[in-house]
Amino acid sequence: MKVAKYVALIFGDEDVWLNSDEATTSAILSEYGRFHEEYGRHLVGSGQLKPNSTAKLIRTTGDEYTVTDGAFGETKEALGGYYVIEADDEATALEIAKHVPAPGGFVELRPLVDLG
């Protein structure tokens, strides 16, 4: 059976990270530690993104490029990180994604296209 890959996109309120005290930050990091201990064998990639204010939006029209500085949109939930999950099926990936910590936000699970 071929193993599939899924990306769990973590959306949350940036203020939770930017304005939390040391105890809150420590508790959140502990949640991520527990997640890694439990599901690490399924994780083939991950990353935490810097705040929306550091983003650049690049638009292409023909041979012209326009670059705009972030932040974008007036939404509370911003994409803050991701996990790439390897699983036998979508049900397994969904069960893992249910446990991804997302303080003040949510997780979006999407299958990756197999280009190989």
- Residue 93 or 52, more confident: 93
* Per-residue model confidence as pLDDT tens digits over 85-94: 999 999 999 9
As a whole number of angstroms, the distance between CA 12 and CA 49 comes to: 11
Give the chain's mean pLDDT.
91
Q: Structural domains in the chain?
A: 4-50+77-111 (3.30.70.1060)
Q: What is the pLDDT of residue 38?
A: 97
Q: Which of 102, 109, 112 is nearest to 48 (CA)?
A: 102
